[in-house]
Structure 1
Amino acid sequence: MRKRKNFKLEMNIEKEIGQDTVLILPDYDENGCLNSVIYHTDGMIKVESKPFDLIDTNLRFRGSSMRGAVEGSSAILGKLNKNPVIIDRDKGIILLPSKSAILDDCVWLSLQHIMECFSLEGNQTKVTLSNGSSIVLAGSKKSIQRRMEKAYELQFKMEAQKRIFDNGRVISENAYHLVKQAGQVNYEHQVE
């Protein structure tokens, strides 16, 4: 993972990765600086931030980080070379990288917007997207589908964990009242 010296959370609506985000492309400006192009279902926007940093900012804005998301993904799926990343579990926003996330030419695809993959000559794959667009990526159809399968597995396991946790809660019919008496260090539990 990349290390950053002075992280400053700068988030705005233009940088938001949401349910309408289809993919994030690396894009070099005229000065050779790496930026991002975020493609949404209804258009695109250029952002002065590297894709890795853009995703990290979105995760930090939601109370996580790229490191935390990758470690969480690895804990659930096992150590992978190209981990999918959950941006927002409740909204089902999961991004999968076209290659290693630390490479500057990594393209990030939103799992919910991938419709189909087709093999092309020269070890390339055409990915059709939910808005009728498509992108041609380096790599075999099999490798991209494997990353999609891992992203679906991550989504399924996260939902299963949530269901287990939610169903495991027992709602007590006994109310209680907690009081800390003057001069005491602990609260006392009093059943009503």
Structure 2
Amino acid sequence: MNTVDHYIINQKTIMLTGEYDNYGNLFTKVIEGNHCILVKQSPLKLISDTMHYYGHNLKGAIEGAQSILGKIQMCPIMVSSEQDICLFPHKSPMHADCIWFSYKHVIQARTEEGYTLVELSNGHFLKIKIRLYSFNHKKQNAGDLRRILQDRSKSTVALYFKPRKEYRLSKDSVMAKLGSK
């Protein structure tokens, strides 16, 4: 496993989770494609640094997501709308073993022997201890957030302000002003 000091979450990032080293330091294990990378940062620090890289911040992303989806706990975050990177946690991010999934890299999930088996875009499966309903609900929230933000970024808002009569310009009044100089 490759160990690095810093990492930027990108379109190839499938998931990330906390992992302690032999000395008790919390690192982040990142799955990118078929590669596993160990980053010398906690998951929340890595997410926060990535968001700063893309010109956003974690607190704002959480507040924005909650303003769109309601005051839900463990809400998904849009790391970068431009890069189409939306992450959702499988449990509270305060837990070191919380797994952050990239929405577009989760193919499907199903129940298997009391666990949820998650199929990832790299062809691998991950068995996690969470009810299928809960996992699918978290994924659905991420999908809703992603779709709403994409729709909002595509729409253009046209505002029309009716000018007050005393400020209305006409060709005659402009020509008269130009001719009087």
Identity %: 28
User: Is 1:113 matched with 2:105?
Assistant: yes
Show structure 2 runs of 5+ residues with no match. 160-181
CA distance, structure 1, for counterparts of residue 28 and residue 117 of structure 2:
21
Counterpart of 1:144 in structure 2 is 135
In structure 1, the gaps of 5 or more residues are: 1-11, 171-192
Of residues 86, 91, 101 in structure 1, which corresponds to 2:83? 91
Q: Counterparts of 1:1-192 in structure 2 under 5 Å?
A: 14-122=6-114, 124-164=115-155, 167-169=156-158
CA contact (8 A) 2:15 2:101 kept: yes
Match of 2:171 in 1: none
Give the alignment's Cα RMSD to 1 decimal: 1.7
SS at match of 1:15: coil
| Structure (1 or 2) with the larger CA radius of gyration | 2
Following superposition, the deviation at residue 24 of structure 1 comes to 0.2
Tell me, what secondary structure is at the counterpart of 2:11? coil
Distance 2:93 2:77 in 1: 10
Whether contact under 8 Å (1:14, 1:45) holds in the other structure is no
The count of aligned residue pairs is 156
CA contact (8 A) 1:93 1:111 kept: yes
Report if aligned partners of 2:6, 2:40 keep a CA contact under 8 Å in 1: no
Deviation of 1:23 (Å):
0.4
Q: CA deviation at 1:14?
A: 4.9
Q: CA deviation at 1:120?
A: 2.1
Note closer, same or farther for the CA distance 1:103–1:13 as it changes in structure 2 (3 Å cut).
Answer: closer
Q: Distance in 2 between matches of 1:56 and 1:101?
A: 13
TM-score, with structure 1 as normaliser: 0.77
CA offset at residue 63 of structure 1?
A: 1.9
**1:136 deviation in Å?**
1.2
* C-alpha separation in 1, matches of 2:5 and 2:39: 11
1:13 deviates by 9.2
Q: Secondary structure at the match of 1:162?
A: helix
Please give the TM-score of this superposition, normalised by the length of structure 2: 0.81
